[in-house]
Amino acid sequence: MTADPADKRKIILSGNRPTGRLHWGNYTGALENWVRLQDEYRCYFMVADWHVLTTALDKADLIAHHSREMFLDWLGAGLDPEKSVLFIQSQVKEHAELYLLLAMLISKGRLERNPTFKEQIRDLNLGGEISYGHLGYPVLQAADILAYRAHAVPVGEDQLPHLELTREMARRFNRLFGDVFPEPEALVTKFARFPGTDGKRMSKSLGNTIEIAASPEEILEKIRPAYTDPARLRRSDPGHPEVCAVYTWYRKFLPEEAEATAAECRSAGRGCVDCKLKLAAGVTAHFAPLRERREAFAADPGKLDEIIAHGCEQARAVAAGTMEEVHQAMGLG
C-alpha cells in the first residue's frame, strides 16, 4: 500500500506484542477481523516489539525471532502488504520521540489510576517493582496511534481505558499547540470468551493454546485431551455441549457441523473421542490455506525481509511527516 493522499479512507492502527506464534484466540480475537478491515480502512499493523520489554525484559533476545514469526502468522492469515502497512515498531524511531513529547502531557497520577495498569500489577504480582517504562506504556501506545494520526483503533472492551488516555493526550496537545491529531475512536471488537484446551480463556500464559500454524499432528495432539463436559463420564451419558470447549470450536470453525454435533452430544449418539477426531480433521482443513501460505513465505526469507523492510519504510515516511507537523506546531526548530 502506498500513502496516497487521494485515499480518503479512515486510518486505523493496531498491533500485537511478539511473544511467540499466534494462537486460535489471537486469530478469533483480532487477526481475523484485521483481515476484513483491510478493504475498508487504511490499515497500519504493528509488531509491538518495544512493548514486550515492559514485562519481559529478560526475553529481549527472543524478540527479533518472534517478530519474524508474527509476520509469518500475519501473512499466512491474509494480511496483505499490498493493502496494509505491516511494520515493526522499533524500526520507526519516531515513535520514541513522540512518546517523549506526549509524556509531558500526562501526570504520573493519571497513569497510576489506569485500571488496566492496576490489574496488571495484581495479575503479574509486580508489587513495588514497576519500571518507569511499564508505567508509561499507555503513553507509548498513544505515540504508536498518533504517529499515524489514526482515526480509529480496533480494541477489545478491556482496552478502552488506554484509548481514553490516548484521546486525552491528543486533546491536550491540540489545545496547547493547534490541531495536529484526530481523537481516535474505538472500533470495539465484541468476541465471546474463546476457550483453550483446559476450558479456561485461551492464553499463552496458561499453556492452553493451539497455534494457527499447528501441523495436523499437533492439532490432534492438543485436541485429544481437551476439556469436554465434565458430567459426561460414560459414552452412554447424554452430554451438555454448551459447557464443552470442543463444541465452541465447532461453532467457530465448523459452524455447518455445530447443530448436528450438539444434537448427537445431547442424545449420547456421539462419543467424545469421535467428536474430537472429526473436529481435528475439520479444523486442519479450515487452517490449511493459512498454513500453506505461511509455509510459502517461510521458505523465502529474502522475500520476507523485503516485505518487512518495505512496510517499515512506509511507516517511517508517514510517522516522519507527522513529526514534522509536531515540531512546527510546538515551535521546536
What is the binding site for ligand SF4 (CB under 6 A)? 228-229, 232, 239, 241, 244, 246-247, 261, 265, 270, 272, 275-276
Instruction: Give the HSE-up count for residue 29: Cα atoms under 13 Å, Cβ half-sphere.
Output: 21
CA distances from 261 to 258, 270, 320 (A): 5, 8, 54
Q: Are 49 and 228 in contact (CB under 8 A)?
A: no
Please say which residue, 191 or 227, places its beta carbon nearer to ligand SF4. 227
Q: Which is nearer to ligand SF4, 225 or 289 (CB)?
A: 225
Nearest to ligand SF4 of 68, 276 (CB atom): 276
User: DSSP class of residue 194?
Assistant: P
Q: What's the min distance (Å) between Cβ of 230 and ligand SF4?
A: 9
Q: What angle do CA 287, 25, 150 make, to 5 degrees?
A: 100
Nearest approach in angstroms of CB 251 to ligand SF4 is: 10
Cell numbers for 91, please give them: 524500526
Q: For residue 59, count other CB atoms closer than 10 A to its CB.
A: 13
Minimum separation from the CB atom of position 253 to ligand SF4 (A): 13
Beta carbon of residue 239, minimum distance to ligand SF4 (angstroms, whole number): 4
Minimum CB separation of residue 286 from ligand SF4 in Å reads 17
Half-sphere exposure of 237 (CA within 13 A, CB side): 11
Closer to ligand SF4 at the Cβ: 115 or 238?
238
Which residues have a Cβ under 8 Å from the Cβ of 202 and sit 6 or more positions away?
23, 24, 25, 194, 195, 196, 208, 209, 210
Quick one: 240 or 291, whose CB is closer to ligand SF4?
240
Q: Which is nearer to ligand SF4, 178 or 230 (CB)?
A: 230
- Beta strands 42-47; 85-88: pairing state: parallel
Give the integer Cα–Cα distance in Å for 67 and 83.
Answer: 20
> Cβ of residue 257: shortest distance to ligand SF4, in angstroms?
10
Of residues 124 and 231, the one with the C-beta less far from ligand SF4 = 231
The answer to whether the beta carbons of residues 76 and 45 sit under 8 Å apart is: no
Q: How far is the CB of 256 from ligand SF4 (least distance, A)?
A: 15
